[in-house]
Structure 1
């Protein structure tokens, strides 16, 4: 296991979406730790509530877990929270602060991701504004983002051919449908329900996803 001082945060592999709409509190922490044991390499904390005290407590606990397991810890949307807990970075969508502002607040070493949905042309602008990795999706039906338009494998292949940054895929991803995404150049697979849904063995699910890069 890596020590805190030797960690080099990266965006690669199983990217666990620790979404409090799926689980929270002690169960959230326990299930994320199980996913980390199974090989999750990135954890993103996602909480849309206004309960700032709970959000801070959960983010601190997840940050500590990731440090112990040598994993990267990302906060969704909230640059202030990411800064408060010493997160490795933040992920931003179209309604969030601009990557340039996040870069100023978090510094040159922070990992800043930008969602580009199904539009490759958004990626160069995001990277030029301070992001260092991008996400595309949804690629499959998703209960957490049911209204989003689909991204295609052709889009992913085009992104891989034109971008040198890490590429994250998101949206309805499971171990049994993700192999084409890895083959097309995905650096990381962002997964929520398939890791943390009801009745899911989070450790086994993470292990099955992590195995996709070993084939």
Structure 2
């Protein structure tokens, strides 16, 4: 189920550090883990994905792969998260099966969300909700989107600049999950920050 704290991994080739960070986030209460790595070679990505999937499963969390259907299939992930392409959603559904979770980035567009759901998306993600260090040029998505998208029948995920200081606004607006990268994984105290964010859904 897509609900609660949705942790997205930072890009890194330091696998040992990544495992420690993810373990802390899961221990703190992350319910969904997305593996996002744009830079590593294919062998390292496969290794990292397998390890992180095992970590997520051991904590009862869902494991999603970012933008790589082949990798999601290879490690038997719970699903995949895709960008703006209806054809990609339909193809991923055909390849991964009816039981796979397929998430779709819908930015600030309710129309994109409708199209994504029609193409087979399991959940839709809106953002950036706030200024984002990961994607500083991202479009701004209004909080009102979560109410507007309530009738789509799928979970609504918020992403972009979410921190322990502003996350409550997003939860109150109707987000079923909050996706966090930088404010969760930067620095020490990951488990504590995860617990604070997860508590918003307690």
Residue 203 (structure 1) aligns with = 191
Q: Offset of 1:157 from its aligned partner?
A: 2.0
- The number of aligned residues is 202
* CA–CA distance in structure 2, aligned partners of residues 180 and 192 of structure 1: 18
| 1:146-165 Cα deviation digits (max 9, x unpaired) | 111100112222122x2221
- 2:192 aligned with 1:185: no
- 2:125 aligned with 1:132: no
| 1:72-130 Cα deviation digits (max 9, x unpaired) | 00000000000000100000002696100000110000000000000011111111111
- 2:41 aligned with 1:51: yes
Answer yes or no: is the 8 Å Cα contact 1:135–1:167 preserved in 2: yes
In the alignment, structure 1 segments of 5+ residues that lack a partner are 1-9
TM-score of the two chains, using structure 1 as the length reference: 0.90
* CA–CA distance in structure 2, aligned partners of residues 12 and 155 of structure 1: 17
SS in 2 for 1:144: coil
SS in 2 for 1:74: strand
* CA–CA distance in structure 1, aligned partners of residues 53 and 147 of structure 2: 33
Residue 109 (structure 2) aligns with = 119
Answer yes or no: is the 8 Å Cα contact 1:89–1:111 preserved in 2: yes
Query: Equivalent residues in 2 for 1:1-215 (5 A)?
Result: 10-21=1-12, 24-49=14-39, 51-94=41-84, 98-160=88-150, 162-197=151-186, 199-214=187-202
Q: Offset of 1:50 from its aligned partner?
A: 5.2
Answer yes or no: is the 8 Å Cα contact 2:117–2:152 preserved in 1: no
SS in 2 for 1:114: strand
Answer yes or no: is the 8 Å Cα contact 2:8–2:180 preserved in 1: yes
The structure 1 segments of at least 4 consecutive aligned residues displaced by more than 4 Å after TM superposition are none
* CA–CA distance in structure 2, aligned partners of residues 128 and 121 of structure 1: 11
* CA–CA distance in structure 2, aligned partners of residues 95 and 147 of structure 1: 20
* CA–CA distance in structure 2, aligned partners of residues 163 and 156 of structure 1: 10
